Chains A and B, each alone.
Chain A
Amino acid sequence: MSKTFDRFSGILFLAIGALFIVESIRLSQSAYGSDIGPDIFPMYLGIALVLLSIRLVYETFRYQQDQSEKEKLDYKRFAIILGAAILYAGLIETLGYVITTFVFLTVGFQTMQKGKLWLSILIAGVFSIGVYYVFVNVLQGTLPPFPFENMFF
């Protein structure tokens, strides 16, 4: 158990709970024909979350000393893939499904483990084109098309 994380998240959830309480109070008080408006349920939940968060923060003071067994976490790999995923999400509608998926997969494979670039490109290509073709042409679904659609299909 990490004391720091638990204390931090306790305070964060406390703030979230408080936010929900405040925002519930600002909501219109009652629904037509009933005293029980849309504000009641989230407000009680907010109070519950605040109370539980306080309890968690209180518990962290009673934790045993942090066992400082530092794991070696691969933050670099994580940052690259997370960044690539965010770009993937942001660009999917502009550049289309096939291009973004292909680039994301190639980057992802190579970040996980360098080498065998051609195999990475092949798998990324087969997946992105395969999923697009099957989903759009066979199953009649919708995915973002190529940016200059008329040029390709």
Chain B
Amino acid sequence: MSTLDFLFQGFATAMQWHNLLFAFFGVLIGTAVGVLPGIGPMSGIALLMPITASITGGLGPEQAATSSIILLAGVYYGAMYGGSTTSILLNTPGESSSVVTTLDGHQMAKNGRAGVALAICAIGSFSAGLIALIGLILLAKPLASIALKFGPAEYTALMLLGLLAVSGLGGKSITKALMMTVFGLLLATIGIDAVSGISRFTYDQPMLYSGLEFLTVAVGLFALGEVFKSILERESNDGEIAKITRIVPTKQDMKDSSIPILRGSVFGFFLGVLPGAGATLASFFSYIMEKKLSKHPEKFGTGTIEGVAGPESANNAAAGGAIVPLLTLGIPGSGATAILMSAFIMFNITPGPLLFEDHPEVAWGLIASMFVGNAILLILNLPLVRIFAKVVETPTKYLIPLIVAFSFFGVYAVQFSVFDLMLLVGCGVAGYFLMKNDFPIAPLVLGLVLGPMIENNFRRALTISNGDFMIFLQKPLSLLFIIIGILWVVTPMLLKLIGKKVVVNDDGL
């Protein structure tokens, strides 16, 4: 069957009424998650995983996986959109990727054009989703068929590249980011070794035999870490909320923003495909680009619509682009896609080149649902903008303990163990202190997810070569990946040495 046939089949899957419902709730919850302070896309997806697993319990395994992943992906891009709502209305970005939106978005709100800014965000997100969809369709098959030719050495090198890329851009200090990556990989070795059956680092504790549960660690580090941060630092969201008056953009607004939206979408998509780059960088660079290309750069920062349209489309397109390496190569390039990947694994579906052959329904269903989800987002957000603005006002007093209770529920409902709850709290405390001191969390989580895969491929490669490490350098592709990976880490270091300012992805997305 050709790609188009698969795509149509995907649309048939995505348009089933229950999947529409899942996509709807996904983007709805996602938007709320993005709007709420103290809970980002990563915690949102992680928290919803156990619930989707139980809701879809009645469906067949493949359908259950499709529906759940549609919902979780909806949360992912819904949250990307929701983050910009607070940027515009409150001048406090919900996610790091919407920091740039505050520059012009909040100024627009001050000029009484909050509604228009929000509407342009929604239109930008939609167009970005559309571009990302086209990109996915064009790239998915070729990338997957190249990846099928990879041997274990190439895979190891490619995963190494992904990890190095995320570490290189992961935070203020590359040393700390690399430490977190290695630590994540080390944590992944705890438990019974899949190849030899020997238990490693378990000290005869039965609960450690299956290893540290990814979901528990991720929810702890991200969700509870954020919660502890708001408790300790008394974060409050009592800023002035801008009034929303007119929502529908004028013809002139549309004319001014259509080109930036298009540019932002294409540019963001390609940045999103690269591991480690992600939405924060995409929105940042798009803003700079629009300012450079604009005929009146002096207007940027005073509430010009191009300054909202470009970056907003770019960060949403990057979120779509980040799904490409996940689906085709099985390698997540960011914290949020790492969590999505663990959702695939939970349903016993391994993302990667074989996904399109083994589970075309899941892969194409997800791709089509991203389009449907973005359409729902557009229809949903224009009329509901006022309601989402109200969500911002949820008092932290109730929000914070409820997030803790919800994390407990999420973890216990899947793991049924008190040990995991304790681990959850421990990870929360660790997460807070690590984040506070610029130890990025995303590389750790990525290391934990990729650990078993990278180890398997590493050992298979070495077994083939009889323990000779040169195998990683003799295979041309593997050598290429390693060189790119090293460059990725070394280049920012060199730039810093020369005294150039290096842009980093603040929380690794």
Contact = CB atoms under 8 A, between A and B. Distances in A.
Interface of A: 1-2, 5-6, 9, 13, 16-17, 20, 23-24, 27-28, 31-32, 34-38, 40-42, 45-46, 48-49, 52-53, 55-56, 59, 71-75, 77-78, 81-82, 85-86, 88-90, 92-93, 97, 101, 104-105, 108-109, 112-113, 123, 127-128, 131, 135, 139-144
A138 B507 CA distance: 38
B144 interface: no
B459 A40 contact: yes
A92 B407 CA distance: 14
Given A59-B175, A92-B418, A140-B57, A73 B459 contact: no
B37 to A, nearest CB: 14
A46 B179 CA distance: 10
Interface of B: 54-55, 57, 172-173, 175-176, 178-179, 182-183, 185-186, 189, 193, 195-196, 198, 200-201, 228, 231-234, 395-398, 400-402, 404-405, 408-409, 412-413, 416, 418, 421-422, 424-425, 428-429, 433, 437-439, 455, 458-459, 462-463, 466-467
B306 to A, nearest CB: 36
A6 B437 contact: yes
A6 B425 CA distance: 22
B425 A85 contact: yes
Given A109-B397, A140-B57, A78 B186 contact: no
Contacts of B200: 23-24, 27, 38, 42
Contacts of B466: 35
Nearest to B411: A89
Q: Chain A CB within 10 Å — which of B182, B401, B408 has the most?
A: B401
Given A5-B433, A34-B463, A113-B395, 20 more contacts: A13-B179, A27-B200, A40-B462, A41-B458, A46-B186, A52-B182, A59-B173, A59-B175, A73-B233, A82-B429, A85-B408, A88-B421, A89-B408, A89-B424, A90-B418, A93-B418, A97-B412, A101-B405, A108-B404, A144-B412
Top 8 nearest A-B pairs by Cβ distance?
A108-B401, A89-B421, A31-B196, A38-B193, A112-B397, A113-B397, A42-B189, A36-B462
Contacts of A46: 186
19 contacts: A16-B183, A34-B459, A38-B195, A42-B186, A53-B179, A74-B232, A74-B233, A77-B231, A78-B228, A81-B404, A82-B429, A92-B408, A93-B418, A108-B400, A108-B401, A112-B397, A135-B409, A139-B54, A142-B416
A2 B437 contact: yes
A109 B401 CA distance: 6
Nearest to B459: A36
A38 B196 contact: yes
